């Protein structure tokens, strides 16, 4: 099977690519195409999908679990033939750069929050990196703590790490992609990230709540400037 290059994993800041079409499917309800060089992040791991266009029309990315390909679903009623799309031809794809940077900032900030909370003894159980909803969840497991004190401690640690502009790098372990915040943590991850914490701004602890034995730490984050 033809390999598909996942550009979004290699470089967060690639927003456009002209690539060969390696797959076309016209099955209902909507047709879809696959490009040899894919720049779209498909929703997963708590991160929303990228928004953008391919061949001049809005597309929705989704990852095929079996092949690992990311397919771009065309709008309802649009057929590849009407856009002259066929295997072996090429198509220009573009993603929304502002949304990509926001998603990358929120995802990286989520890793940072987690790296700073885990030493307090909480067990990570889930995460959400969506704008306006971002939070990390933990099992409390009977641990005694003061919510306000935790928020203050976490805020101080966040500010320090961001001021130090710690590098954020991708790697691989056991055949899986990893993300490392230098000196703090390495985790398996398939999302997009900033290249160093100095690119984060407006990072703040939005809330610290405990419900049904779960600690939920809500946070905010934005990307500084227009990218690297």
The strand ranges marked E within the chain are 5-6, 16-25, 32-35, 37-38, 52-54, 57-63, 70-73, 90-95, 123-128, 135-139, 168-173, 176-181, 185-188, 200-211, 214-223
Return the pLDDT at 227.
59
Question: Domain check: are 70 and 128 in the same one?
Answer: no
End residue of a domain, out of 95, 113, 141: 95
Answer yes or no: is pLDDT of 184 > 70. yes
Q: For the whole model, what pTM was predicted?
A: 0.95
Answer yes or no: is pLDDT of 116 > 70. yes
Return the pLDDT at 132.
96
Q: Does residue 22 belong to any structural domain of this protein?
A: yes
End residue of a domain, out of 40, 73, 95: 95
Is the omega angle on the peptide bond into residue 29 within 30 degrees of 0, that is, cis?
yes
In three-state secondary structure terms, 88 is coil
Question: Domain check: are 212 and 128 in the same one?
Answer: yes
As a whole number, mean pLDDT of residues 126-134 equals 97
Question: Domain check: are 50 and 118 in the same one?
Answer: no
Phi, psi of 105 (to 5 degrees): -65, -45
Average pLDDT, the chain: 95
138-156 residue pLDDT tens: 999 888 899 999 999 999 9
Return the pLDDT at 143.
84
Which tokens go with 152?
């203050």
Residue-number span of the structural domain to which 67 is assigned? 5-95
Question: Domain check: are 43 and 106 in the same one?
Answer: no
Answer yes or no: is pLDDT of 118 > 70. yes
């Amino acid at each position: 099977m033809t390999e598909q290059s996942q550009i979004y994993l290699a470089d967060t800041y690639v927003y456009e690519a002209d690539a060969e079409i390696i797959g076309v499917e016209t099955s209902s309800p909507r047709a879809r195409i696959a490009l040899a060089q894919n720049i779209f992040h498909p929703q997963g791991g708590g991160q929303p999908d990228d928004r953008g266009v391919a061949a001049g029309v809005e597309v929705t990315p989704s990852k095929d679990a079996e092949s690992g390909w990311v397919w771009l679903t065309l709008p309802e009623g649009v057929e590849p033939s009407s856009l002259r799309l066929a295997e072996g031809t090429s198509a220009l794809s573009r993603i929304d750069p502002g949304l990509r940077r926001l998603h990358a900032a929120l995802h990286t900030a989520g890793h940072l929050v987690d790296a700073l909370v885990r030493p307090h003894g909480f067990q990570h159980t889930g995460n959400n990196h969506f704008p306006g909803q971002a939070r990390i969840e933990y099992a409390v497991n009977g641990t005694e703590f003061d919510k306000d004190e935790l928020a203050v401690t976490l805020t101080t640690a966040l500010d320090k790490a961001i001021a130090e502009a710690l590098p954020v790098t991708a790697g691989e372990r056991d055949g899986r992609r990893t993300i490392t915040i230098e000196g703090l943590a390495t985790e398996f991850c398939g999302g997009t990230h900033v290249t160093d914490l100095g690119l984060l701004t407006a990072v703040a602890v939005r809330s610290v709540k405990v419900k049904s034995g779960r600690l939920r730490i809500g946070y905010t984050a934005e990307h500084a400037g227009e990218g690297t």
